Structure 1
Amino acid sequence: MKIAILTSGGDSSGMNVAIKRFVEYSYEKNFTPYFIYDGLEGLIDGKIKKANYKDVRGIICRGGTIIRSSRSKRWFDKEYRKKAYENLKKQSIDALIILGGDGSFRALNVFYKEFKIPFIGIPATIDNDIALNEYSIGVDTALNVIRSAIDDIRDTASSFSRAFVIETMGRECGYLALISAISNGAEMCLIPEMSYNLDRLKEKYLKEIKNGRNYFLAIVAEGVKKTEFIKEWFEREIGFESRITILGHIQRGGAPTTIERLRAVEFMSLALDNIENNPNKIVTFCDDKFILRNLEEIINSKYSLPKKALEIAKPLMGLDG
C-alpha cells in the first residue's frame, strides 16, 4: 500500500515528529511512504516523492515541517483538484494522511467527495480549534513558548511597575490566551468567546494597587482586536505606564516538548493502524484517549473552549465566577 502525507495550513511544532513516525512505522507495516511537498499547492503541482529513513534523520527536535506547507487559493477550483487527483494516480498513491486544522479538513472533505481517495486526518494547529478534539499537535509547545515569554516579561513589568499587554495568536479562538492566562497568573484575560467588564476590572485593580500590587499582565487573544485599546485603558484608567508585546509567529516554532512528541507519535500510530481497513476518519484526542471520528461529524460540530478553564478565568474578565 502506498501512502502519502502532507502538511497543510499553518505549521506547528510536532509536525516533524509525526512525519518521522509516519516514515518509520510505514516501513514496519510494509507500507510505502511518500511525501507531498508544499501542502495542497504541492499536490496540485505534483511534488510527490518516495520517502526513506534518511529523509527523517535528525528532524524530531526541529519545529515546523520539513515537507513544508501552504494555503492554496487554487484548491477552490475543481480543475486544480482534478489535477491533484491525477498526480496521485500517476504515483499509484492509495491513501492520504493530512496534518492540519479546520480549513485543511474542509478541503479534504471536498476532495474525498469528488475522488474517493481514502484518508486519515490528524489535528495539527496551535489554534486548537478542532471540534470534538481537545488536543492538536503544536499546542503544548506553543503554550510553553508563551510561558517562557511571559516569565521574561514579568521581570521587566515588576522592575518598572508597568502593565504589559501580551497578544497571543489563535485567530478567532481564544484557547492559547485562556490557558496561558490561567497557568501564568495573569491579571487579565480577553478572548473572543467571552464578554468582559472593564468597569469591574478597574474597581478590582485599584483595590489591589492599594494592597500592594505594582504591575499587571494582560493576556489578549488576537481575535479580540483590542490590544492597543487595552494598553491605553491601563494608562488612562489605572494610571500604569503600559507596553504591548505581540508574540506572533514565535508561538508556532521551537523544539517540540516531550508531551508534544509523545502525542504526535500516538496520533500517527493510530492513523497508520487504521488507514487500510478503517479509513476516512479524523484522529481526535478527548477525555485522555484517542478517538476516531467521521470528518462530517467534526465539520458539522461547533468547537468550544474547556468549561472548567472558562469558569476559572471569569474573574480575569471582570465577570462573576
Structure 2
Amino acid sequence: MKNIAILCSGGDVSGMNPAIKHFVEYALEKELTPYFVYDGFKGLIENKIVKATHKDVAGIINRGGTILGSARSKKFMEKKFREVAKKNLDALNIDMLVVLGGDGSFRGMDIFYKEQGIKFCGIPSTIDNDINGTEYCLGVDTALNVIKESIDNIRDTAASFSRAFVIETMGRDCGYLALVSALTCGAELCLIPEVEYDLKEYEKSFKKQIKNGRRYFIAVVSEGIKEESSEIAKWFEEKIGFESRATILGHTQRGGNPTIYDRLMAYKFVNHALDGMLEGRDESVICYTKKGFEYKSIDEVANKKYQLDDKLLSYLKKF
C-alpha cells in the first residue's frame, strides 16, 4: 500500500474538517494508507505525523476549523529544515501530500517538490477567495453565511434606532466577501480595494434617500480599503447626519458549522486531489472553474494576482 498524508497551512477555514474526514475515507477506499500531519509545515519538521483511521475522523464533519491545527513556519523556508521534513516523511514511506491552504502554502510546496521530490496536490482553502485560477476556495460559503447572519442581525438594530452601521469584512486586498455580502444582504454602500471611491459622490443621493423616508443605512466595507471602518462611520455622522456605528466582524468569519455547500466542495476537492496524484500528476492545485474542476500549475495559481470576476465587479455600480 502507498502512503499519503494531509496537512493544513495558513488560516483555518470551515470546510477543512469535512475535507480531512473524506481524505481518510477516500484514501482507504483507494487502498492508500492515510496519515495526518499536525500543525502544518511545522509538524513536518517536528515529525508530528500520525497514521489515521476512521475513528480519528468520526464526528468532525460539523466542526469548524481543523482538528490537525495549522501553523506558519519560518523554518520551512530554510533548506536544512526541509531536508528534515523529507527524512521524517521517508521514514514512513510517505511520498504524497494533500495540502489545504493558500498561495503561500502552495509556493512552499512547490519548492519542497522540486527540491525533495515529495508529490502534492493543493486544495485552495481561504475565506478571502483570492487564489488565482479558481472560482471558489474551500470555506468561502460558510464565511459568507456568517457575514449574512451578522448583517441581518445588525439591520434589526439599525432600523430600530435609525442608525448607519458600517460592517467590515475580512479579505486582505480582495473585496470578494464584502461585495458578495453587500449584494446579497441589501446594503446601501459597498467599498472594496479593487475600485477607487470618493465618499462625496454618495452624499447627495443618501441625503435625498433620508428626505424620502430612509431610516437606516447598511454599509459593507472590506478591510483592505484606504480608510478605517471607523472613518466611514464618522463620515456618516458628519456629512450625512446619521448616528453611526462600526462593526468589525474579524475572525468570527473563519469559524462556525460548515455549510452544506462547503461540505460538498470538500468532498469533491479531495476526490480530485487524490485521483490526480494517482493518475500521475505530481505537482498541481485542484481548482474549481466555470468548466468544472481543473488541475493547474503552481505558477498559474500562486504566482499571479487574483482578479475579481468582471461580471461580479459590474454589480458594484448599483451602489
TM category (shorter chain) comes to over 0.9
Map of 2:289 onto structure 1: 286
Give 2:57's aligned residue.
Answer: 56
- Pick closer, same or farther for the CA change 1:203–1:288 going to 2, 3 Å: farther
CA distance in 1, matches of 2:218, 2:22: 39
User: Counterparts of 1:226 and 1:246 in 2: how far apart (Å)?
Assistant: 10
- What RMSD in Å do the two structures reach over aligned CA positions? 1.0
Paired with 1:109 and 1:272, the residues of 2 have a C-alpha distance of 17
For 1:113 and 1:201, locate their aligned partners in 2 and report how far apart those are by CA, in whole Å. Answer: 52
How many Å apart are 1:262 and its aligned residue? Answer: 0.6
How many residues are paired up?
316
1:120 matched to 2:121 = yes
The alpha-carbon deviation at position 301 of structure 1 amounts to: 2.5
Cα distance in 2 for residues equivalent to 1:2 and 1:38: 19
Match of 2:262 in 1: 260
1:209 alignment partner AA: I
One-letter code aligned to 1:294: S
Aligned partner (choices 243, 246, 254) of residue 244 of structure 1: 246
Give the 3-state SS of the residue equivalent to 2:97 in structure 1.
strand
What SS does the corresponding residue of 1:172 show, helix, strand or coil?
Answer: coil
Q: 1:242 & 1:72 partners in 2: Cα distance?
A: 41
Quick one: percent identity of the two aligned structures? 57
The Cα of 1:72 is off from its aligned counterpart by 1.3
Local SS of the residue matching 1:144: helix
Q: How many angstroms does 1:19 deviate by?
A: 0.4
Tell me, in whole angstroms, the C-alpha distance in 2 between the residues paired with 1:147 and 1:267: 25
Task: Give the TM-score normalised by structure 2.
Answer: 0.97
Q: What's the CA shift for 1:278?
A: 2.2
- Deviation, 1:226, is 2.3
2:228 and 2:190 map into 1 onto residues whose CA distance is 12
Shift of 1:101: 0.8
**C-alpha distance in structure 2 between counterparts of 1:300 and 1:55, whole Å:** 35
Q: By how many angstroms is 1:288 displaced?
A: 5.5
Partner of 1:18: 19
Q: How does 1:1-321 map to 2 (within 5 A)?
A: 1-224=2-225, 225-276=227-278, 277-287=280-290, 289-316=292-319
TM-score with structure 1 length normalisation?
A: 0.96
> Residues 36-77 of structure 1, C-alpha deviation per residue, up to 9 Å, x if partnerless?
000111111110000000000000000000111011122222
In structure 1, the residue corresponding to 2:165 is in which secondary structure? strand
Deviating more after overlay: 192-201 vs 51-60: 192-201
- List 4+ stretches of structure 1 deviating above 3 A: none
What residue identity is the alignment partner of 2:296? R
CA contact (8 A) 2:104 2:302 kept: no
Q: Distance in 1 between matches of 2:26 and 2:39?
A: 22
2: CA distance, partners of 1:144 / 1:299? 27
Task: Tell me how far apart the structure 1 counterparts of residues 240 and 90 of structure 2 sit (CA, whole Å).
Answer: 64
Partner of 1:319: none
- Distance, in Å, in 1 between the alignment partners of 2:3 and 2:222 is 41
Q: Is the 8 A contact 1:220 1:226 kept in 2?
A: no
Unaligned residue ranges in structure 1 (runs of 5+): 317-321
